[in-house]
Amino acid sequence: MSNVMFIKPALETDATWEMVRTSSYLGIWYLASLLKEKGHNVMYLDEVVRNGGLGRSVLFQTKLKGSELSRYQIDISLEDYRKEKNRFFEQNTPGEFTKKYTAFKGDEIVRTIARTGNSLEDTLRKVEAFSPDYVGVPLIASTNYRTAVMLGKSIKKSFPGVKMIYGGQHISACWEDFLKENDWVDHLITGDAIAVIDSLVKGEISDRVIHGEFQSMKQFPLLDYSIIADTHYPIDQAYSYPSFGRKSTDFMFSKGCFRKCDFCVAGSQKGNYTSYLDWDLIDEQFKVFKESGIEEIIVQDDAFIYKKDNLLKKLGLLNKYGFYWQITGGFDFETLNTSVTDLLVDFNKTSSGKLTGLYMPFNPRSWNKGKSATGTMVNRYENNFECMKRLREEADVYVFTSDILGTPEHTAEIVENDMEIHKQMIKDGYLDAALTLSATMLPGTSWFNANKHNVVNVHDYSGYSLFATHHRTKNIPDPSKIEELVVKRTKELNSIQDTYNWQTAFPNSVWPYKG
């Protein structure tokens, strides 16, 4: 049997445009649980959260020109930088703000980067103490490329005998380029690693590149809560509606998605379909969570209400264990109807637990390209909007949406139109908030494949984010104009809604609960 360590790297985020958002990585938690079940000695390190990592942010300024990156540390705290930046945001016009803070300076991309988490030296001490045979690093999103690579290089240099394994979204999309750039890596796993990881760490597979492909959830074990128990994830989550003092955990009833959205990795994965965990296994998992003190489930499914029968089973299990729950993965707006709403309202009126928060994005679809996504959905799904109001008024659910600015077909006029629609929906009681996101041409998606030429610099990894702009469009050729639209929309919506750190880098409120 092997010693296997999984390490979630520190985060590097654009301190101007993005907040620090963190959660457990379900992928490596599942892998660690499987290997422990198989008899291997495993350890999971979340270097953003472990040992007070969330309070350890260091700021750098980076300058990217072509493929050459320079970086130097800035002598200011993240807290002070945010205060200064947000004060300027409040007191100046969107144009003035963008002129000062834009990332696009001539032929360079200049960003203020916050590195949040434990130092490499601290991580290396944990690696040395555990003495792993294998270290798995999830490159779950292209935006965290640099810290994931720096971490792996440091481990390999300090402990040459350790076998380094990389997986995640970026690896699945760009494994050939990644291997060329990082020839010290021992193994890459594309797709789902769950069906191959045990054979790899037992030495039964020696391939450098392993294609895990799409795996159904029958391959997935129970999540072993003891693996993450010592990480001490904060009660006030930095990525979701708050639990107000209730101990929570992420969970997915299903993986995959029945939609094929151009911007989404899940919908673009080869072989993708919606696959559910076995219901008895979910029951057993909820029992484990309950025994571990979990009171709230943060649901990350991409297809939560795909089938009404499955929804009934989910609600039954959530009610059985009295869990509070919320959805941050995205509640499919088109499938929200009166019968689904009746079920959710009844749950909140009769169950000891409650549905507390509901993220319902009005995403662009194939049928409304080049148009206002929200505007077309308002016209096509009028009854669904009434259901949203019922959830707010009858079930006391916090309902919020978002708009993706700078999609390939967007014009400034479409962005302005969506903004006005969202403002009216908030005023009329359909929504609590409408967040502002910047379109991301994420490797592995149809958007990236068709619009890679519109990414200003493909090496601008910190720009591959839902909040930082990294691209132009045919109709908006100046990327700083997209940034300006982000600022304008945020300012105008902030005038009629409350926003918080986990929602935006320009919050205007704080949660009443602090713990």
Q: Tokens for 19, please give them.
A: 């907040």
pLDDT tens for each residue of the chain, 515 residues long: 899 999 999 999 999 999 988 888 999 999 999 999 999 999 999 999 999 999 999 999 999 999 999 999 999 999 999 999 999 999 999 999 999 999 999 999 999 999 999 999 999 999 999 999 999 999 989 999 999 999 999 999 999 999 999 999 999 999 999 999 999 999 999 999 999 999 999 999 999 999 999 999 999 999 999 999 999 888 877 788 888 889 999 999 988 888 878 888 776 777 777 888 899 999 999 999 999 999 999 999 887 887 778 899 999 999 999 999 999 887 888 889 999 999 999 999 999 999 999 999 888 887 777 788 888 888 888 889 999 999 999 999 999 999 999 999 889 999 999 999 999 999 999 999 999 999 999 999 989 999 999 999 999 999 999 999 999 999 999 999 999 999 999 999 999 999 998 899 999 998 765 54
Q: Name which of 347, 243, 234 is nearest 298 in CA terms.
A: 243
Beta bridge partners of 62: 71, 111
Query: Cα(456)–Cα(104) distance, rounded to whole angstroms?
Result: 9
DSSP 292-329: TT--EEEE--S-TTS-HHHHHHHHHHHHHTT-EEEE-S
Question: Phi and psi dihedrals of 73, rounded to 5?
Answer: -75, 145
Query: Cα(388)–Cα(422) distance, rounded to whole angstroms?
Result: 13
Half-sphere exposure of 150 (CA within 13 A, CB side): 14
Contact in structure between 297 and 251 (CB atoms under 8 Å): yes
The domains of the chain, with CATH numbers, are 3-56+117-218 (3.40.50.280), 58-111 (no CATH), 235-359 (3.30.750.210)
Place of tokens 């304008």: 488
Q: Tokens for 357, please give them.
A: 């928060």
